[in-house]
Amino acid sequence: MPEPEETAVKSKSEFDPNILPDLLPLYYKRLFPHKQFFRWMSYGRTEPSVFTKREFSFTLQDDVYIRFQSFENQLELEREIYAKAPFKIDIGAVYNIRPKDHRGSTTMQPVQRELVFDIDMTDYDEIRTCCNEANVCTRCWKFMTIACRVLDEALREDFGFEHLLWVFSGRRGIHCWVCDRSARQLDTPARSAIAQYLNVLVSGGEGTVSRVIIFDEMHHSVRRAYRIVEPLFEEICLEDQNIFAKPEGLKKLLAMVQDQTIRGDLEKRLKTVQGDSKKIWKEFVAFFEEMRTSGNNRNRRIKFIVEETILAFTYPRLDINVTKGFNHLLKAPFCVHPKTGKICVPFNPNIASKFDPTDVPTITDLLKEVNAFDEKNTVEGEETRSRIKDYKKTSMFKGTVIFEEFLRKLEQTFKGKPAPVSDIKMEF
């Protein structure tokens, strides 16, 4: 079996959204990991009805939206995916009744749901200068790397969660699925409390950057986040983004200082180094250090001003409504983004800095890779080629391996019971 790097088509082709309806049936038939997906959604089949009462939503061509679908088993779900070839699959909550029976029911309530997080690059438009809106490059993606590290450590260390699935959204963001049983059974107030705990940013007002406020001492979770972001601040904010070089960026830096007198003095000093973010930041730090050492500390709010500013420009921008919502729908892993054609692949949070969103394969790339592999190995005979599953012939293989490893660890926790042998062997 060749390594996935050998099978990948190195030159990524431009994706044409108009051909997506023709490609999706092939993708779902040959590449979508149906068996692993069912293993995840059924949670080892140790919890009654956890799969059969789960809501699945399909978005079809021309934005036809089908909600409250539910299925009895993997085969039924797989057949429906083949039949509909959805542009997007969304995963909802597990309900107290089968979602497909919701009509006429007055008692339908969500009873279980993964704790989910959604981070979108557009929420960084207030601080990134390289791109805006739906555009993403490797420079601004570093903000996502920080977000992944900060949240992953907080969820594991502060809440004890272990089974986190990180997924690229297909265009400009990342999703995190916390799949521990304790997380799935959280009620709405508990989800809200976790979301608020992790959301340390407060609105700074129109035209300014969201702020972080530290009072008498730094909370241990904020201190841990600062330990992660501080070494990266210069590279990302001062060099890659050069945030303070333009007047609007300098204004956002000055807005970090709430005391008008101090802000006025600082503004005068920074006028001597305009246009260079690194020099501006050096003067900013020196200004407040001089205030501290001189004893001219007119406002206790400047005690952590440097730390607050670094965090304000780097801390994760969370969509907390997604996390708080018990029955919020979220795009499934391995979907194809309809505009970019890219696959929503899982990635390893421990090496998030190596993940390149611009190099994620499109559905077009994957199908070309399968064809290229088959053509190259024709001499070995049709029987030999058919024994190798199609996804193993493509650059999606890495994402599938990460998903498989996540499932393996998750299945080890199901009441001490292993998954059925047929599922563990997974001859896919």
pLDDT at 48: 79
pLDDT at 298: 59
pLDDT at 418: 44
Contact call for residues 313 and 127 (beta carbons, < 8 A): yes
3-class SS at 50? coil
pLDDT at 204: 74
pLDDT at 423: 39
Quote the distance between the C-alpha of residue 219 and its chain's center: 25
pLDDT at 93: 97
Q: Which residues of the chain have pLDDT under 70?
A: 1-13, 296-300, 379-386, 415-428
Residues annotated as catalytic are: 55, 118, 120
List beta partners, residue 98.
none
- CB under 8 Å to 233, separation ≥6 — which residues? 310, 313, 314
**Structural domains for the chain:** 15-200+318-414 (3.90.920.10), 204-314 (no CATH)
Eight-class DSSP state of 177: E
Residue type, position 146, single letter: I
Contact call for residues 168 and 133 (beta carbons, < 8 A): no
pLDDT at 321: 94
Q: Which helix (H) or strand (E) holds 164?
A: strand 164-168
CA–CA separation, 172 and 351 (whole Å): 18
CA–CA separation, 263 and 285 (whole Å): 13
Contact call for residues 402 and 347 (beta carbons, < 8 A): yes
| 277 CB-contact burial (10 Å; exposed 0-12 / middle 13-18 / buried 19+) | buried
Q: What is the pTM of this model?
A: 0.91
pLDDT at 5: 39
Residue given tokens 């960084």 in the structure block: 124
